[in-house]
Amino acid sequence: MNILLDISYDGSGFCGFQVQNNGLSVCQALQDGLEALLGTRPPVKGCSRTDAGVHALHYAVNFWADCRIPMEKLPLALNQKLPAAIRVNRAMEVEEEFHARYAAHEKTYCYRIWNSPIDSPFGAGWHHRLPGKLDEAAMQAAADRFVGSHDFMSLCSAGCEVALRGSTVRTISRCRVQRTGDLVTVTVTADGYLYNMVRILAGTLVLAGQHKLDPERVPAILESRDRSQAGPTLPAQGLFLAWVDYPELPAWQAGKPQGEPGRIL
């Protein structure tokens, strides 16, 4: 059977989702847990690559296995075999041809900025702190100009395989900046992403929030296809994969979080 899992993880202690030679990955830890529970080590298909230190609120992963455990009980059973930094929220059986990555319609990422001269003792590993007051209205004005279908080569770090062999055009359907007290959250929903695209986009919005970049410059930055024209790549710990849309799976969509996607505490 083909099983789809909804998982959350704190990426602080992992080298990313994909299995790598330089450290423990989320995928490896998940496979270790599956092997301990099921007696076999199934290959898993993740919905997206996440870099070292990046977190996930609702990450989708599917695998094929002969599983006798009812789907409603699988999360509790599997969580007993996983490190505390990884939790399975839900499990469901899907069609044999379903693939977590290729079936995704859109993915939503959040970037969390603690905008205060004093860091918070709660969840310091889940945000990037900037002490100077950010102008969220200017950030939103810049964010609005990223919405739509554009060539996002300017927001792609060096080493992006897609930039070398394929199209760098992506469609952003939503780009929103919200402030809740000292927490500023950038939420981006798109049909696909380039390497470090959200972290660079957030860095560009920060420049607008610091009045170092006129929001009107965003179209020219995109047209330049020049990475040096955009803002800095913000640190990984502020980034979360918040949600993956599978419109053809009503049972999955029923778990879509309401309200502020980047809210942790």
**Structure tokens, 184:** 């500023």
Q: What is the DSSP letter of 155?
A: G
Q: What is the DSSP letter of 33?
A: H
Amino acid found at 76: L
**Structure tokens, 15:** 């080298």
CB 17 within 8 A of CB 26: yes
Residues acting as catalytic residues: 51
Q: What is the DSSP letter of 175?
A: E
**Structure tokens, 38:** 């099921």
Q: How do the residues of the chain divide into helix, strand and coil, expressed in percent and rounded to 5?
A: 30, 30, 45
User: Can you say which residues are annotated as belonging to the binding site for substrate?
Assistant: 109
CB 53 within 8 A of CB 240: no
User: Can you say which residues are annotated as belonging to the binding site?
Assistant: 109
Q: What separation in angstroms does the CA of 136 have from each of 115, 174, 204, 240?
A: 11, 16, 13, 20
